[in-house]
Amino acid sequence: MGEADEPGGPLRVALLSYRSKPHCGGQGVYLRHLSRELVDLGHTVEVFSGQPYPELDRDEIELTKLPSLDLYRDEDPFRTPALGEFRDWVDVLEFAHMRTGGFPEPLTFSIRALRELRRRRRDFDVVHDNQVLGVGNLGIPKLGLPLVTSIHHPISVDRRIELEAAQGVRQKFGKRRWYGFVTMQSQVSRRIGPVLTVSESSKVDIVKDFKVDPRDIEILPLGVDTRVFHPRGERVPGRIVAMASADAPIKGVDVLLRAVAKLATERDVHVVVVSRPQKDGPTAKLVRDLALGDRVQFVSGISDGELGELLASAEIAVVPSRYEGFSLPAVEHMASGTPLVASRAGALPEVVGDAAVLVEPGDVEELAATLRGLHDSADERARVGASGLARVQERFAWPAVAQATVRHYREAVAQQNYLRLARRG
């Protein structure tokens, strides 16, 4: 019996996400899997998203596009739109905000979403915000629509790490301006009602950085699609795989590349990073400086099947992040049966438990030594890989995530009904 067969019946869910990359970035992956499982439980789901738009796994899921000016598209970042592209004052606000060095998408998407929901408020029973946290969200409950919000981790952590990595006054000022939207997200999160997050570590950071009442936060871990991520037989000798935004300091790709460069002087290894670094950006420059040549490959735009095959082809997987609020890639590596090396950072120890080898974040020497030890021991690789696979099978499943999420939807609906009755009284 599905969740929708229980008392209360099927729900009509509006799922909001200001950008929804399907393979890179936890928000897009979360939206894709959650929407599929909600529909499989019998609920109706409509996704509202800006660019990049998501890939959705069920024909029954409707995608309503709320297009931005797409000012950060990969092939033309920080572009100047043609005059005919401006549709209204929100577009003007978005462009002006970008030109002054800020990141406007959470704010402008929330305004567009509120405008659309105001027009269609009778079409939905509940709204689920996937970490937009724009001021427009504050108007959603005023429409009579219950609101549930997911915060995977507070972006204040990204801001702190990027500022530490910035060099010089000019670069630090630019980073502070770019991350100005975090102040808005902090203010909104304190006023928005029930919050779902993915780990105890993220909850602590939300309370500390955003000052959200811990009683408003529920922990609900993420799942993994074992139809895509599972062991597949033979592995490529010497292959190390990582999934991480290459140019984001928080993801630690620089640490991984430096460790591989050390290891490559004495072992036949190569690394595949699922990401697309900026042309002539910091990662591309580091690859040249380390003379890694054909020892490193970056791949992007691959299908789910190709991604699953790549992860299962590796002898070792690495999550070298300086912080993670959860880390779906860590779970996907473990689901592939690939022995995992992960940083002792953020929620990673909580997520992987004793089923991965933990190293100090940012420590190139320790990471290189750990990779060397795993490379040299097939027995140890087999042991760690089997431990990771067993942990995934025991703890992380998307159907269970969806069922628990629906319970939170029903609580939000009940709360909104009580408030409506109280106002009438």
pLDDT in tens, 299-318: 998 999 999 999 999 999 99
Contact criterion met (CB below 8 Å) for 323 and 204? no
State mean pLDDT over 48-72: 95
Contact criterion met (CB below 8 Å) for 329 and 319? yes
Q: 195 vs 24, 140, 171, 328, CA distance in Å?
A: 23, 15, 33, 19
What is the CATH code of the structural domain delimited by 3-223+398-424? Answer: 3.40.50.2000
State mean pLDDT over 322-333: 94
Please check whether the two domains, 3-223+398-424 and 239-395, share a CATH topology.
yes
What are the tens digits of pLDDT across the range 372-400?
A: 999 999 999 999 999 999 999 988 989 98
What are the tens digits of pLDDT across the range 143-177?
A: 999 999 999 999 999 999 999 888 899 999 999 99
Q: 54 vs 26, 47, 51, 106, 263, CA distance in Å?
A: 12, 9, 8, 16, 38
What are the tens digits of pLDDT across the range 108-126?
A: 999 999 999 999 999 999 9
Contact criterion met (CB below 8 Å) for 21 and 52? yes
What are the tens digits of pLDDT across the range 201-256?
A: 999 999 999 999 999 999 999 999 999 999 998 999 999 999 998 888 899 999 99
Least confident of 15-19, 20-24, 349-353: 20-24
> Quick one: pLDDT band at residue 23, thresholds 50, 70, 90?
low
Distance CA 349, CA 120 (A): 43
Q: What pLDDT is stored for residue 263 in this prediction?
A: 96
Tell me the pTM. Answer: 0.85
> Quick one: pLDDT band at residue 25, thresholds 50, 70, 90?
low
DSSP state of 185: H
Contacts of 420 (CB under 8 A, 6+ apart): 144
DSSP state of 85: G
Average pLDDT, whole number, for the chain?
Answer: 93
Domain boundaries, the chain: 3-223+398-424, 239-395
Q: Per the omega criterion (within 30 degrees of 0), is the bond before 329 cis?
A: no
Rounded to the nearest 10 degrees, the angle between the axes of helix 156-165 and helix 200-210 is 80
DSSP string, 303-343: -HHHHHHHHHH-SEEEE--S--SS-HHHHHHHHTT--EEEE
Q: What pLDDT is stored for residue 367 in this prediction?
A: 98
Contact criterion met (CB below 8 Å) for 144 and 118? no
Q: Tell me what percent of the residues of the chain surpass a pLDDT of 70.
A: 97
The domain 239-395 having CATH identifier 3.40.50.2000: the answer here is yes
- Residues 91, 93, 99, 103: what is their CA dihedral angle, to the nearest 10 degrees? -90
Distance CA 357, CA 232 (A): 22
Distance CA 238, CA 188 (A): 47
